[in-house]
Amino acid sequence: MSFFEALLLGIVQGLTEFLPVSSSGHLEIAKAIMGSELTPSTSLMFTIVVHLATAFATIVIFRKDIKSIFLNIFKGDKADRKFSFAILVSLFPAAIIGIFFNDFIEVLFSGNILLVGFMLIVTGILLILTDQAKDRNIELNHFTALIIGLSQAIAILPGISRSGATISTSVLLGMDREKAARFSFLMVIPLILGKVIIDLKDISSFTDSNQIYILATGFISAFFTGLWACKLMIRLVKRARLKGFAIYCGSIGILVLIWTQIF
């Protein structure tokens, strides 16, 4: 992977992690277009690094919320404690899949562009339903947190937008849109950090200085574009303006399906 490819893929990750268009799906599409010949394990490692960058971007933007979550686990009013524990409950589905099905997940990140195309269409349908949903201001509880967590687990599939799936599920369950976006972005941080810790054993395969340089380039570009995209997404969700992303996902999904048949 060249410096330019790492820079471009980092920008793709930073933009698409928070916008509901599937960062993993776009990374796989970008790798295929650029003719990337990365092994599945190397491809997954780069994906993990740029996801870590966007997790750090989330931490920067929601640093006050994160501090409150930790404090409210031990003290705070009932509503604050409920939100903090809901974050913990939402982690279980994706954590279980990540621990027991890691080898299967790695295979999905090996240029399976046909799957990406179908899943992008599914993401587009979800976003259309979300844009038409009405706010019912349903309070977050452990059951709804678990359902949202299940949607996050399903979004491990490349082409399913994690933010799109979790925000859509939250809104369709009746949550306030701004609270849905906040919960969606906060719930992914522990998972990404945990995944990176688990995969630290694989860092030994990137001891070459050029490979470290490539990973650093992807990280930095993903971090700074992620800061901008996260703030933008919060504003768009509050205004219920996801239809454009739905059309985009559906269109890209169809183009990808056509592309797989031609090439």
| Exposure b/e, 219-243, CB count within 10 A at least 16 = b | bbbbbebbbebbeebbebbeeeebe
pLDDT of residue 146: 93
Please tell me whether residue 175 adopts helix, strand or coil conformation: coil
For helices 142-154 and 162-172, what crossing angle results, to 10°?
150
153, 94 in Cβ contact below 8 A?
yes
- Average pLDDT for 225-233: 90
Rounded to whole angstroms, how far apart are CA atoms 219 and 52?
Answer: 8
Rounded to whole angstroms, how far apart are CA atoms 254 and 74?
Answer: 49
pLDDT of residue 111: 60
Exposed/middle/buried for residue 38 (C-beta within 10 Å: 0-12, 13-18, 19+): middle
pLDDT of residue 26: 79
Kindly indicate the confidence band of residue 237, based on its pLDDT and cuts at 50, 70 and 90.
confident
For residue 94, which of 150, 27, 163 has the smallest C-alpha distance? 150
Q: Please state the pTM of the whole predicted model.
A: 0.77
For residue 6, which of 221, 218, 226 has the smallest C-alpha distance? 218
For residue 195, which of 19, 10, 16, 54 has the smallest C-alpha distance? 54
Residues in the chain: 263
Kindly indicate the confidence band of residue 228, based on its pLDDT and cuts at 50, 70 and 90.
very high
pLDDT of residue 88: 86
Domain boundaries along the sequence of the chain: 3-262
